[in-house]
Structure 1
Amino acid sequence: MPLTQPAVTRQLQRLEALLDAQLLDRRSKPARLTPTGVAVLAEARKVLAAVEELKQVASQSAEPKGVLRLGLAHALCEPALADGLHELGRRHPAVRLQLASGWSSELLARVDRGELDAAVIHLAGAADAMPPPRGQVLAEDDLVFLVSPQLPLPARPRLEALNRIGWVLTPDTVCGSRGALRAAVERSGVALHVAAEVQDAALQAGLVQRGLGVGVMPRRRAEAWSRMKLRRVSVPGLRLRMTVSLVRALHLGRLARAVDTLEAVLKERLRRQGRRQ
């Protein structure tokens, strides 16, 4: 609402009293800014611009802009992730991605501490005893057991037989699937025999192909390695399951729309990828 001249004069006088400085030279006709007034005006414009920027940051309806700090779980080396990140950049060109990788438990803690805006994580475990996932579920998949075709094993070997060969697992000791596998093995009275701990999925598959151990991988990824002709076996009484979800910080402001886009694109890409397998 427009201010009257007396109202403007009173506000200017209050500002001068607050700053303990003369901003207007009232001796000249018309009145003009003093050197201090010129300097204060320049700083005031910066303050107003910063306030406007603050409103934009807090607004969920504003066009996404700024740095989006996104965590990606080590185990999720999915082509769909690259597709999703590319599509996010295409739709929201003013958003810059700052990516961090880590184990799912680490990424969740960083989201809770406000160090990440969002994270794509996975939760795994025995299919009949999985805790509820955090965030928005993007995809679900079975974990499958893979062995070298040269190993003389039946299609449904006993867990003890696989444990004697040894397991090729990721180094993530807090992984739910590893915990479920350990519990199942220990019920037979023996310790989990880990032949190798390998983070890289391609190296895992290569070691399994050469008969150095038994691999445990999401079905989608296992079928992507079909050229290696890895053999899939089933363990009676043991079914492992994995969910992929996107967890976001509570207050994202205008970055919320960018995370919405990423969530929708990843969900569609992962669904399409699972349907092709």
Structure 2
Amino acid sequence: MQPIVESHQLRLFVMLARQLNMSQVAAELRMTPSAVSHALKAMEADLRCILFERTSRRMRLTPAGEALLPEAQSILSGMESLRTRAGAICDPEQNRIRIGASTTACQFILPPALREFRESFPGHAIRIEPCTARQAADHISADRIDFAVTLEPAAHGGLEFRFMAEDSLHFVVHPLHPWAIRRRVPREEVPTGKLIISETDEETFALIEAYFRKDRLTLTPFIEIANDEAIKRFVNLDMGVGILPRWIVAGEMERGQLTVLPLGRRQLRRRWGMLHAKGRKLNFAESLFFNICREVMRSLVETGGRSGEGLSVFLVLLTAGMRMAAC
């Protein structure tokens, strides 16, 4: 059996080919020039091939050395990649993702996304920190989370927002509510409509408030709660009027339990995405997770809440691979 070329021999060969100076390579490796020379001779003996022409003044690659160098570089790069990949799988510090997420993301986006993610990274530890977009910015700055799946904040200086999908908000009422019966919403009734909406410190409330401010309408919420399922429940009991995206109430609409009406002539759109520190490069696991979340969110919006079921990890991996350079 022929001797196997070892990693330190490959590294020595590649370094010598790059610098063509034995003394410099010896200093970099903290070896003596004599030791480097002996190591090179041993490698050439193992390969039964002369890699360098050496004179008292200079050294240069032989034709054989030039032919073998690309393969040596490729093997060395693969070995380094293997070590990095092993660290990502086995190192507890690298093998962890800390996610900030809005209540809506926790309820609807993360469950199907994490199920798909687990198929590729079963050993990753996941920690989820429920938070608003504004709180997420503080958590990222304080290094309490790696990134957040949330709505785009009004301002995100020092942070980067990666767009996933867009939805729009609507009035949601009981089928027997006067607005549902008339199939229209009198503008003058909006401020007194017993609105059941997200808490005032959330991005959604800020968007809603700004939308109606353009119509010179001031909103006074009847119930504030940061839980879309609870809002649906209150509206289903005919306790007031919710403001939610259509995809969240698609099932109730099909069953005739809730009715959706437009907020007005203008649409009120929200942008969903990932928020993280500016300039932060996502690793492979994080890049894959972003792509999965994006596909889940787009599927939710397009199919009316019936997403996340049967997402193809292969297709998402392909998407992630195509976009790694952008990360």
Shorter-chain TM-score above 0.5: yes
List gaps (5 residues or longer) in structure 1.
8-54
Q: In the TM superposition, what is the alpha-carbon distance from 1:113 to its structure 2 partner?
A: 2.7
Which of 163, 176, 179 matches 1:137? 163
Corresponding position of 2:270: 242
Letter in 2 for 1:87: E
What is the number of residues matched between the two proteins? Answer: 223
Deviation per CA, 1:176-208, whole angstroms, max 9, x where unpaired?
Answer: x42343345456666312111122222211211
SS in 1 for 2:293: helix
Is residue 149 of structure 1 aligned with residue 191 of structure 2?
no
* 2:211–2:268 Cα contact (<8 Å) kept: no
SS of the residue corresponding to residue 239 of structure 2 reads coil
Distance across 1 between alignment mates of 2:96 and 2:156: 32
CA RMSD for the aligned pairs? 3.5
Contact 2:97 2:127 survives alignment (8 Å): yes
Compute the displacement of 1:104 (Å). 1.3
Distance 2:278 2:160 in 1: 13
Native 8 Å contact 1:144 1:217 kept in 2:
yes
Q: 282, 290, 305: which one pairs with 1:263?
A: 290
Match of 1:200 in 2: 227
CA offsets 1:142-196 (integer angstroms, 9 cap, x no match): 1111111111123231332132122101224242x42343345456666312111
Note closer, same or farther for the CA distance 1:217–1:61 as it changes in structure 2 (3 Å cut): farther
**Structure 2: distance between partners of 1:74 and 1:243:** 15
> Greater strand percent: which structure?
1
2:189 corresponds to 1:164: no
Deviations 1:185-243 (A, max 9, x none): 45666631211112222221121122222111122102133336211112333421111
Rate the CA distance shift 1:271–1:210 in 2: closer, same or farther, 3 A.
same
Which of these residues, 94, 98, 103, is aligned with residue 69 of structure 1? 98
Is 1:222 aligned to 2:249, yes or no? Answer: yes
Change (3 A) 1:195 1:84: same
Please give the per-residue CA displacement for 1:38-92, whole angstroms capped at 9, x wherever unaligned.
Answer: xxxxxxxxxxxxxxxxx99x96896454221111112324544212112222212
Q: Does 1:81 align with 2:128?
A: no
Q: Which protein, 1 or 2, shows the higher relative CO under an 8 Å CA cutoff with sep ≥ 6?
A: 1
Pick the structure with more helix per residue. 2
8 Å contact 1:120–1:247 — kept in the other structure?
yes
Q: Give the gaps of 5 or more residues in structure 2.
A: 1-11, 13-28, 36-79, 305-327
Q: Percent identity?
A: 18
Mapped to 2, the partners of 1:79 and 1:179 lie a distance apart of 21
For 2:162, give the aligned amino acid.
Answer: Q
